[in-house]
Amino acid sequence: MKWIISLRFISLVAHLVLVILFISNRDYNVRLCLSWNHSDKEYWSKDYELVVGLSLSIVLLILELLSFITGITMIHAKQTLFSFCIHTFGTITLTSFIMDGWECQLFWWLFTITILIPFLTESMIMIHTILLLYNTNLTYR
């Protein structure tokens, strides 16, 4: 069980680092999402779309990492395995997205599958655990 916790941490940090690198070097991918005769307005619109998506990704990944580091969800074996698998998949697919120049619309699918869903499951487990601890403390008083 301890090795999967380490792997989850590594995959989560790797995913976060890759998203941070992508936000700083996104020009190539923005240009690939546009036609050859695009206007500046179209370029800035796509660039803004990617910046918003990547910034949201960074925030959600940091919140998930903080939840994990505090230990609230660390003991949940299913969440640990799920998070490890999804973030590893996210790291691999985001690398392909960056290197191969996929369509920009695919970013939102990757965001939903590899960042939003794990964050939501993490949040539900965290809320459930906190409510359970709160109700347990009320019972013993």
Rounded to the nearest integer, the mean pLDDT of the chain is: 88
> pLDDT tens across 23-50, in order?
988 888 888 887 788 788 888 888 899 9
Residue 89 confidence (pLDDT) above 90: yes
14-18, 91-95, 130-134: range with lowest mean pLDDT? 130-134
> pLDDT tens across 106-136, in order?
999 999 999 999 999 999 999 988 888 777 7
- Write a three-state SS string for 3-56: HHHHHHHHHHHHHHHHHHHHHHCCHHHHHHCCCCCCCHHHHHHHHHHHHHHHHH
Look at residues 18, 23, 40 and name the one whose alpha carbon lies nearest to residue 31.
40
